[in-house]
Amino acid sequence: MATPKNIPFDSLNLYAVLTECQPLVGGRIQDIRQPEPLTVVLEVYAQRREHYLLISADAQFARLHRVSKRPPNAPTPPPFLQSLRKHIEGGTLTQIEQIGFDRIVSLHVRTREGEYRLMVELMGKHSNIILVNPSGLIQSAIKWVSPKQSAVRPIRSAERYQLPPTRVEGLRNPLTLSDAEWRALWEQAEGDWQAYLEGLSGFTAQELNAVAEGGFESLLAWVERLRHARWEPVVIRDPNTHRAIGAYPFPTLQFPPAWQHPRQSLNSAWETVFDERIRHARMDALRNTLLPALRKALQARQRALEEIERALEEGLHADRWQLFGELILAFGHTLEPDATKLLAPDYTHPDMPTIEIPIDPTRSVVENAERYFQKARRAREHQNELAQRYGILSEEAEALRLALERTENAHTETDLRPILEEARARGWLRETAPLHPAKRAEKDPFEGHRIRVHLSPDGYQVLVGENAEANDYLLTRVARPNDWWLHVRAGTGAHVIIRTNNQPERVPRRTLEFAAKLAAQNSADRHAHIVEVDYTLRKYVRKPKGAPSGFALYTHEKTLAVRPNAP
What's the pLDDT tens digit per position in 251-261?
999 999 999 99
Q: Quote the CA–CA distance of 267 and 477 in Å, as a whole number.
A: 52
The pLDDT value given to residue 262:
96
The pLDDT value given to residue 85:
96
- Please answer whether residues 246 and 273 qualify as being in contact, where contact means their C-beta atoms are separated by less than 8 angstroms: yes
**pLDDT tier at 308 (50, 70, 90 boundaries)?**
confident
Q: Quote the CA–CA distance of 487 and 471 in Å, as a whole number.
A: 10
- The number of angstroms, rounded, from the C-alpha of 377 to the middle of its chain's C-alpha atoms is 45
Tell me the per-residue pLDDT of 490-547, one tens digit each, with 9 for 90 and over.
888 999 999 998 999 989 998 999 999 999 999 988 888 889 999 999 999 998 887 8
Q: Is 341 exposed, middle or buried (0-12, 13-18, 19+ CB in 10 A)?
A: exposed
Q: Kindly tell me if the per-residue pLDDT of 249 is higher than 50.
A: yes
Q: Is 512 exposed, middle or buried (0-12, 13-18, 19+ CB in 10 A)?
A: buried
98 forms beta bridges with 105
Q: Kindly tell me if the per-residue pLDDT of 209 is higher than 70.
A: yes
Neighbouring residues of 373: CB distance < 8 A, sequence distance ≥ 6: 321, 322, 325
- Within 10 angstroms of residue 388's Cβ, the number of other Cβ atoms is 12
The pLDDT value given to residue 437:
36
Q: Kindly tell me if the per-residue pLDDT of 215 is higher than 60.
A: yes
- Residue ranges, comma separated, of all CATH 2.30.310.10 domains in the chain are 11-141
- Please answer whether residues 344 and 327 qualify as being in contact, where contact means their C-beta atoms are separated by less than 8 angstroms: yes
Q: Is 384 left (phi over 0), alpha (psi -120 to 50) or beta?
A: alpha
Q: Quote the CA–CA distance of 516 and 535 in Å, as a whole number.
A: 8
Q: How much is the average pLDDT of 417-426? A: 86
Q: Quote the CA–CA distance of 459 and 392 in Å, as a whole number.
A: 10
Residue environment code for 293-310, b if the CB has 16+ CB neighbours within 10 A, otherwise e: bbebbbebbeebbebbee
Q: Which CATH number fits domain 11-141: 3.30.465.10, 2.120.10.30, 2.30.310.10, 3.40.190.80?
A: 2.30.310.10
Q: Quote the CA–CA distance of 400 and 292 in Å, as a whole number.
A: 12
Q: Which phi and psi (to 5°) does residue 406 adopt?
A: -65, -40
pLDDT averaged over every residue in the chain: 89
Q: Kindly tell me if the per-residue pLDDT of 146 is higher than 80.
A: yes
**pLDDT tier at 435 (50, 70, 90 boundaries)?**
very low
**Helix (H), strand (E) at residue 267:** helix 266-315
**pLDDT tier at 430 (50, 70, 90 boundaries)?**
low
